[in-house]
Amino acid sequence: MKSLLIKGNFISAPALGKLEILENGYLLTEDGVIKALFDKLPEQYSNIETDDYSGMLIMQSFCDMHLHAPQYPMLGMGMDLPLLEWLNTYTFKTEARFSDERYAREVYHALAQDLISRGTTRVVMFSSIHPKATLILMEELENAGVTGFVGKVNMDRNGGADLQETAVSSIRDTIYWLDECSRFKNVKPIITPRFTPSCSDGLMEELGKIASARGLNIQSHLSENLSEMEWVKSLRPDCSGYWQSYAKHGMWKDGTIMAHCVHCDDKELAAIKDAGVTVAHCADSNIDLCSGVAPVRKMLDMGIKVVLGSDIAGGAELSMTDVITKTIRASKIKRIESGWQTDFLSVAEAYYLGTTAAHLYFGDKPGFAPGNKLHAVVIDDSSLCTPRKLSLRERFERCLYISEKENIAAVYSNGVKCR
């Protein structure tokens, strides 16, 4: 058994809106699992190997709970278009390139490194329809130390000439991919129907059965954009709400992640809450594609589970510090729109959504709780210019708003130092 102490200023989010700040503290791990936090080091641990980050901030690492890996090469492209035009003009053409395994290797190697170097250690990710490229993505993430869920995308309609499966080939490729990816330790599969306009009723039905039979989670998109929602209504006249196009096929349950949920009506929000579905809120993307601003405060008040996603490349920012502060800004737009009737999200609340809320999805306990594998990011803010001596809380806020990836001194993922 290997014991390791980590020394520095710890800032974690034990509950929504709460910060736990431990100045000049110590965190003890055994084989990468958190054992205890100390403000004064007990005598018996004084000879243990120590990673010393005195003076720096040690935060929980970040979780990007919704992003599209094959869209990484097209960051910041087509940002003047609304969702459906953006998909057809840019996105599907870019994703089609991932039939080329060499291209996939090159892009996914860079993406995995860029995630870990920004302190993102857990992801829930869309790949493309290509099973081989999806396996390459999972391998690159695992090698870089990024953990979480990756889905081979399913789409048997409306993908255009270059990005379309048949229901039969989609299921065949999904089974092949699922069987192959059992070799990964920390990157697991998730069933991924792109969204209702991309999947026939028959394909949805088969995917729901595969998810149940193999005990797999599901991710998709929901009520992101008004034109998309109108389209779903015409495609699924049997469903009185968009959510039913997933629920009717066994996909509506605890562990299911629905991205966006910008325009859900009260019935849809109640259905999300009742089933324990998790909402992946993507503030940057929702503003870039002019989709709208999701009612996050209302969701939280209802007890809905909310996590954050960059939604690369609908969103153009990979760093979760940027996504966290965009989330705060978007909530302020909601406040202004509502005539100051709705509270915006505080810094502590947004940090919780970008960290603890998502770590809970993976089965952890809140904050730096004993029993969790260590997921942490060390930020050296000494190069940031200051007007006076700042409190740890002030430094923490600034790190979220203005630190860069160059300020990240170390990253621990799943108990292992990988940066």
Select the residue whose beta carbon is closest to ligand GUN and give its number.
314
Cβ pair 134, 150 in contact under 8 A: yes
Contacts of 102 (CB under 8 A, 6+ apart): none
Pick between residue 165 and residue 311 the one whose CB is nearest to ligand GUN: 311
What token pair was written down for 283?
Answer: 């503030």
Q: Strands, DSSP E only, in 100-218? A: 120-126, 147-151, 153-154, 187-189, 192-193
Q: Answer yes or no whether residue 224 interacts with Fe ion by CB under 5 A.
A: no
Q: Which residues pair with 281 in a beta bridge?
A: 308
| Chosen from Fe ion, ligand GUN, none, partner binding at 173 (C-beta under 5 to 8 Å by type) | none
Pick between residue 25 and residue 193 the one whose CB is nearest to ligand GUN: 193
Which residues contact ligand GUN by CB under 6 A?
68, 83, 87, 91, 194-195, 221, 224, 285, 311, 314
Pick between residue 284 and residue 364 the one whose CB is nearest to ligand GUN: 284
* 146/109 Cα distance (integer angstroms): 11
Which one of 3-11, 117-125, 198-206, 305-313 is the stretch in contact with Fe ion (CB under 5 A)?
Answer: 305-313
What token pair was written down for 312?
Answer: 């690369």
Q: Directed axis angle between helix 167-180 and helix 201-214, to 10°?
A: 20
Out of 311, 317, 322, 381, point to the residue binding Fe ion (CB under 5 A): 311
Pick between residue 8 and residue 309 the one whose CB is nearest to ligand GUN: 309
Pick between residue 53 and residue 246 the one whose CB is nearest to ligand GUN: 246
| Chosen from ligand GUN, Fe ion, none, partner binding at 91 (C-beta under 5 to 8 Å by type) | ligand GUN
Q: How many CB atoms lie within 10 A of CB 29?
A: 23
Footprint (CB under 5 A) of Fe ion, residues 238-297: 259
For the CB of residue 413, give the shortest distance to Fe ion in the complex, in Å.
23
Q: How many residues bind Fe ion (CB under 5 A)?
A: 2
Cβ pair 270, 299 in contact under 8 A: no
* 135/149 Cα distance (integer angstroms): 12
Kindly list the residues in this chain that would bind Fe ion in the complex (CB under 5 A): 259, 311
